[in-house]
Amino acid sequence: MIRIPDLADPLVVKALAAIACSVVALIVAAAWLSEKDGIERKLAGRIAALGQPPSAPAQRRARRLDAAALLRAIGEALGSTALISARDRRELERAVAAAGLKPSAVVPVLIGLKVVLLFAVPLALWAFTALRGIGGMRQVATVAAGVLIGLLGPNWVLGWMHARHVRQIRTGLPDTLDLMVICAEAGLGLESMVERVAIEMAPSNGPIAAEFATLSNELRLLSDRRQALLNIGQRTDVEGLRRLSTTLAQTIQYGTPLGQALRALASEMRQERLTAFEERAAKLPAILVLPLTLFILPCLVLLLAGPSFVQLIGAFKS
């Protein structure tokens, strides 16, 4: 007869712990060796591919396997039809640009992703409900929710990316203004100042460095420098950058000192940020009333009046 070991036995516990540690160590070692071997194979493949022209069938095969390329192809095919109006496409491009992405590369992928999810998510939910034996109105409601998720899910993700992008820009804007003031007082021109700010802000704040790098390229390429400055405010939809672009455009138009205008703008934005912090601090008492009433006040009543209620109930029983 097979004897089942007692799990409460210390020797059994130690043996199981040793086996578990050994298995974890083997898994970690296998993963490390596999990653190392994969990197070496990848490097060897890249070295072997140097000097050899890629074959057309291999490129077509890689393009079929690439999900992003497939979604881009679907989006481009639908974008050229009348299913998506020019107004909707412009709004989508504006939303993608406000999220810090490149509209020409991301918009077709986003359209293709919407189409794929619009069919894939309801089908997956229908199959799930069919396997679980769910029918009737519950199945219809589940499939309808899948259609809603497939249609609006990419927009929700894009909105979250836009909110994160705007939050990072607002966080790094005061430091950017101070750096621009230093560059202006050091005698740098507008193009050199914008390029230097993009380089210096890249390690600490990637979104604002990318926006200033785009601004630097537009200042070099566009004939109208004022339009290049106004584009950054329209593209990001951030009030601080819009005011900054308007200030820089006015300095170019009226010839006002750049350092003085930037210093005044930095002082105003710093004061506005301090005022916003004070407003949030003033709202804290009203916000804390509900958690105080729901969580802290019952505990205080229980601790203070609990012993008296216990003694009172004991007195009535006796």
Average pLDDT over residues 107-132: 80
Average pLDDT over residues 264-283: 85
The pLDDT score that the predictor gives to residue 256 is 77
Domain boundaries, the chain: 65-164, 166-266
pLDDT at 306 over 70: yes
Average pLDDT over residues 176-194: 85
Average pLDDT over residues 270-292: 85
**Angle (CA) 175 184 238, round 5°:** 45
Distances 267 to 51, 149, 188, 256 between C-alpha atoms, Å: 57, 45, 21, 17
Q: Is the pTM of this model over 0.75?
A: no
Hey, how many other C-beta atoms are within 10 angstroms of the C-beta on 72? 21
Q: What is the pLDDT of residues 66-89, one digit of tens each?
A: 666 777 777 777 666 656 667 777
Backbone angles phi, psi at 232, to 5 degrees: -70, -35
Q: What is the pLDDT of residues 149-160, one digit of tens each?
A: 888 888 888 888
216 pLDDT tier (thresholds 50, 70, 90): confident
* Residue 203 near residue 214 (C-beta atoms within 8 A): no
